[in-house]
C-alpha cells in the first residue's frame, strides 16, 4: 500500500479512478429527465442568447439554483461542442471535473486525519462509489457541489492539524464561494455545521483563526455578490424570492415534487449507493469508536471527532428534511470513505461481528445489482408496445422494436457476470491478509458496476430513449416536408425537458389542444407530437379498428367536393355512427394537411408510464416539378 500511496503517483491514481468511474456512459447515455435536461437546456439558451445572467427554460424563468454550473457548462460546450449540436456529453464535463476534484480533495484532507495510506484507500474507494460515479455523469450541480464541499472540508482538516495557515484558509474561502455559486447554502452549511460541532465538542477555536484572514471572506463575497446583484436586477427581485420561497421553503416543510421518505431513508440506501466502500465501513466505524474511547493517541481521537463532525450533522439535516433524494447526502460520503479507508488499514484489529456485517452488506448490494440491472435492461431495453404495433399496422412508421438485440443483450449479461465475479472476488479477498489485494478488487468491483449499469445497460435501454426516437423521426423532415431537420418546428404534448434539449429551443410544449392550435396557426410545415398516454380519447380514435386516421383524412379530402358524399344517406352498418364521430374528431388531420405519420414508443420513466407518441408532419411542401430539361 505504501508504494501506491507514494508521491504524485497517488494523486494520479485517484484522479484516474474518479475519471474512469464518471466516464462510463458519459458519451452514450441520452439526456436524462428531468433535472439534467433542464440544466442543459438553460445553458444552451444562455449560449444562444448571449445572456449569462438570467437562467431560463424556454420562456420560463428558472430561478431555483445559482448560475455557477451553467457558466461551467457554457465554457465546456463553447470549447468542445456547440449549442446547436445538442451533444449532452459536453454539458457533463464539469460534473466529471467535480468528481475528480472531490476524490483528490478527499485524499489531500485525509492525509492529515488518518495518514497517507489510509487516506489513499479511502479516496480510492470514494472515487468509484456508485453514487459519485452516477453524479459525475449527469449535467447538473451535485458532482461539482461535492467537489467544492470536499475541498472546503479538506482545507479545514489541514488547518485543524496545523498545516497551511493563511494559504489554506484562502482555499477554504474559495471553495465556499464556488460552492455557493453552484448550489447556494449547501457547502457553507456543511462547513459551518462542522465548525460549530467541533467548537462545542473540543472547546478549541485557536486553529480557526486563519479563517478570519480578511482576503478569504472577501474572495468568497466577490465570487457570489456581483452575479447575485445582477440577477436580482434582471428579475426585479424575483430570483431570491423564487429560489427561497418557491424552491427551498417547500422542501423544508413537506415532500416537494413528491420526493418524500421516512427518517432513515438515506441510511437504508447507503449499502447500495456507497458500494463498494461499504465493505470496510463498519470496521472503520469501530476504529472511530475506539479512538473516541481513548484507546489511541490524541491525534486519532481528534481525527475521529473531525470525521464525525463532517459527516453526521449533514446527514442528520437531510434525514430530517421532508424532501428526500438519494444524492442529498453526497457531501458526507468523503468522510465516510475516509472512515472506510481507516477500517481497511486496520481490518485485522476489527471485531469479527464488524467484518461480518460489512461483508453481509457488501454481498447484499452486489447481489441486488447483479440481478436487478439485467432485469431492468430486459424490461426497458425492449420497446415492444402493443399500441405501437397496432399503430404501425394502421399506417404509422417506425418507433418500436420487437425483442432484444442479441448482441446488446449478450454485452449486458456479460458485464453483469463480470461484475458479480469481481464482487465475489473482493468479498473473498476481504477475508485474507493482503490489504492491497482487498483494495484493488473492491475498487475494480466499483468500476465494474459503472461499466455494467452506465456503460452497457442504461445506454442500450431503447424504451427510455423517447426523445431520441422523436429526433430520429425528425431527421427525415427534408424528404417528407421539404425542410431541414434543424429548421422544422415541433409542437408536442409530450412535455419532458429531454425533448426540448434534443430538438431545440423553438420546440413548443403544451397540452394536445395547445399543440394542435399552435400547428393550425402556422402556414409552414410542423412536426406535431401527441402523447397518447395523456389523451385517452385520441388514443382510442387512433387505435380503433377499421380505417386509420390517415385514411379518414384522405377520404375527407378526396370527397369533400362531392355533394352526394354529404347528402347521401345509405343504410348504415352498426358501427357507422361511431365512425362518423371518430372522423369528426380527427378532421384536424385534414385541416393541417397531414402528410406523414410516424411514432415513438417506450416508457416515460419520470412518470412511470408506458408511452406511445404519435408523430404527424403537417403542411408538407408539394413535390417540385421535374426539370423539363431532364
Rg (CA), the chain: 29
Contacts for 74-80: CB closer than 8 Å, 24+ residues apart: 74/43, 74/46, 74/47, 77/43, 77/44, 77/47, 78/47
The per-residue pLDDT for 188 is 97
Q: Which of 476, 490, 427, 501 is nearest to 81 (CA)?
A: 501
- Distance, in Å, from the CA atom of 286 to the CA atom of 279, rounded to the nearest integer, reads 13
Query: Residue-wise over 166-196: b if at least 16 C-beta within 10 A, else e?
Result: eebbbbbbbbbbbbbbbbbebbbbbbebbbe
Q: Within 10 A of 585 (CB to CB), how many other CB atoms are there?
A: 15
Q: Is residue 624 very low, low, confident or very high in pLDDT (cuts 50, 70, 90)?
A: very low
Sheet of 489-492, strands arranged across: 508-509, 489-492, 526-531, 609-618, 596-604
Residue 591: alpha-carbon gap to chain centroid: 41
Residue 219, pLDDT above cutoff 60: yes
pLDDT tens digits along 128-137? 999 999 999 9
State the average pLDDT over residues 99-122.
96
CA distance 550 to 311: 61
The Cα 325–Cα 334 span in angstroms is 18
Residue 274 to residue 266: CA distance in whole angstroms: 11
pTM of the complete model? 0.91
How big, in percent rounded to 5, are the helix, strand and coil portions of the chain?
65, 5, 25
Residue 405 or residue 593, greater confidence: 593
Residue range 487-517, pLDDT digits in tens: 999 999 999 999 999 999 999 999 999 999 9
Residue 452 DSSP symbol = I
pLDDT at 547 over 60: no
Q: What is the mean pLDDT of residues 471-488?
A: 90
- 560 or 128, greater pLDDT: 128
Is 372 a residue whose pLDDT tops 70? yes
CA dihedral sign, ordered 40, 45, 47, 48: positive
Ranking 213-217, 293-297, 372-376 by mean pLDDT, the lowest is 293-297
Cα–Cα distance for residue pair 292/490, rounded to 1 Å: 63
- Tell me the three cell numbers of residue 440: 484493488
With a cut of 90, say whether residue 98 has pLDDT above it: yes
What percent of the chain has pLDDT above 70? Answer: 91
Amino acid at each position: 500500500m505504501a508504494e501506491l500511496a507514494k508521491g504524485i503517483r497517488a494523486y494520479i491514481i485517484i484522479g484516474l479512478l474518479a475519471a474512469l468511474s464518471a466516464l462510463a456512459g458519459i458519451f452514450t447515455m441520452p439526456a436524462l429527465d428531468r433535472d439534467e435536461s433542464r440544466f442543459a437546456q438553460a445553458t444552451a439558451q444562455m449560449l444562444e442568447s448571449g445572456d449569462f445572467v438570467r437562467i431560463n427554460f424556454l420562456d420560463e424563468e428558472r430561478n431555483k439554483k445559482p448560475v455557477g454550473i451553467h457558466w461551467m457548462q457554457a465554457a465546456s460546450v463553447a470549447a468542445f461542442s456547440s449549442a446547436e449540436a445538442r451533444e449532452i456529453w459536453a454539458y457533463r464535463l464539469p460534473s466529471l471535473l467535480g468528481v475528480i476534484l472531490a476524490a483528490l480533495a478527499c485524499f489531500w484532507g485525509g492525509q492529515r486525519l488518518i495518514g497517507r495510506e489510509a487516506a489513499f484507500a479511502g479516496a480510492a474507494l470514494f472515487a468509484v462509489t456508485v453514487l459519485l460515479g452516477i453524479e459525475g455523469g449527469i449535467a447538473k450541480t451535485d458532482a461539482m457541489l461535492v467537489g467544492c464541499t470536499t475541498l472546503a472540508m479538506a482545507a479545514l482538516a489541514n488547518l485543524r492539524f496545523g498545516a497551511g495557515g493563511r494559504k489554506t484558509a484562502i482555499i477554504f474561502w474559495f471553495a465556499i464561494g464556488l460552492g455557493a455559486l453552484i448550489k447556494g447554502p449547501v457547502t457553507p452549511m456543511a462547513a459551518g455545521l462542522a465548525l460549530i460541532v467541533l467548537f462545542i465538542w473540543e472547546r478549541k477555536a485557536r486553529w480557526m483563526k486563519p479563517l478570519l484572514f480578511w482576503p478569504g471572506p472577501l474572495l468568497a463575497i466577490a465570487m457570489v455578490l456581483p452575479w447575485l446583484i445582477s440577477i436580482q436586477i434582471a428579475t426585479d427581485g424575483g430570483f431570491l424570492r423564487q429560489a427561497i420561497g418557491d424552491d427551498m421553503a417547500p422542501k423544508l416543510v413537506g415532500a416537494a415534487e413528491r420526493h418524500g421518505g421516512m427518517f432513515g431513508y438515506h441510511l437504508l440506501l447507503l449499502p447500495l449507493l456507497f458500494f463498494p466502500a461499504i465493505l470496510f465501513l463498519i470496521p472503520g466505524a469501530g476504529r472511530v469508536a475506539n479512538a473516541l474511547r481513548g484507546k489511541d493517541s490524541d491525534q486519532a481521537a481528534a481525527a475521529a471527532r473531525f470525521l464525525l463532525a463532517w459527516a453526521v450533522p449533514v446527514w442528520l439535516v437531510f434525514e430530517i428534511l421532508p424532501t428526500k433524494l438519494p444524492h442529498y447526502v453526497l457531501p458526507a460520503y468523503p468522510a465516510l470513505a475516509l472512515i472506510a479507508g481507516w477500517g481497511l488499514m486496520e481490518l485485522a484489529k476489527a471485531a469479527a461481528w464488524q467484518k461480518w456485517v460489512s461483508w453481509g452488506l457488501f454481498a447484499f448490494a452486489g447481489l441486488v445489482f447483479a440481478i436487478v440491472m439485467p432485469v431492468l435492461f430486459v424490461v426497458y431495453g425492449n420497446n415492444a408496445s402493443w399500441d405501437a404495433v397496432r399503430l404501425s399496422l394502421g399506417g404509422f412508421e417506425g418507433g418500436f422494436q420487437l425483442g432484444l438485440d442479441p448482441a446488446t443483450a449478450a454485452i449486458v449479461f456479460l458485464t453483469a457476470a463480470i461484475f458479480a465475479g469481481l464482487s465475489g472476488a473482493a468479498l473473498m479477498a476481504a477475508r485474507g491478509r493482503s490489504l492491497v489485494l482487498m483494495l484493488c478488487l473492491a475498487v475494480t468491483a466499483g468500476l465494474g458496476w459503472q461499466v455494467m449499469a452506465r456503460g452497457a445497460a442504461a445506454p442500450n435501454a431503447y424504451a427510455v430513449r423517447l426523445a431520441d426516437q422523436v429526433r430520429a423521426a425528425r431527421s427525415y423532415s427534408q424528404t417528407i416536408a421539404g425542410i431541414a431537420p434543424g429548421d422544422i418546428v415541433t409542437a408536442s404534448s409530450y412535455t419532458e425537458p429531454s425533448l426540448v434539449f434534443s430538438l431545440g429551443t423553438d420546440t413548443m410544449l403544451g397540452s394536445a389542444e395547445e399543440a394542435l392550435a399552435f400547428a393550425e396557426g402556422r402556414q409552414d410545415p410542423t412536426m406535431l407530437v401527441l402523447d397518447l398516454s395523456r389523451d385517452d380519447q385520441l388514443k382510442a380514435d387512433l387505435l380503433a379498428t377499421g380505417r386509420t386516421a390517415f385514411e379518414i383524412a384522405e377520404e375527407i379530402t378526396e370527397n369533400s367536393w362531392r355533394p352526394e358524399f354529404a347528402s347521401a344517406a345509405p343504410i348504415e352498418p352498426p358501427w357507422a355512427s361511431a365512425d362518423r364521430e371518430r372522423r369528426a374528431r380527427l378532421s384536424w388531420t385534414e385541416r393541417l394537411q397531414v402528410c406523414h405519420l410516424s411514432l415513438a414508443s417506450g416508457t416515460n420513466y419520470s412518470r412511470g408510464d408506458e408511452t406511445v407518441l404519435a408523430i404527424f408532419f403537417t403542411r408538407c411542401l408539394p413535390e417540385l416539378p421535374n426539370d423539363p430539361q431532364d
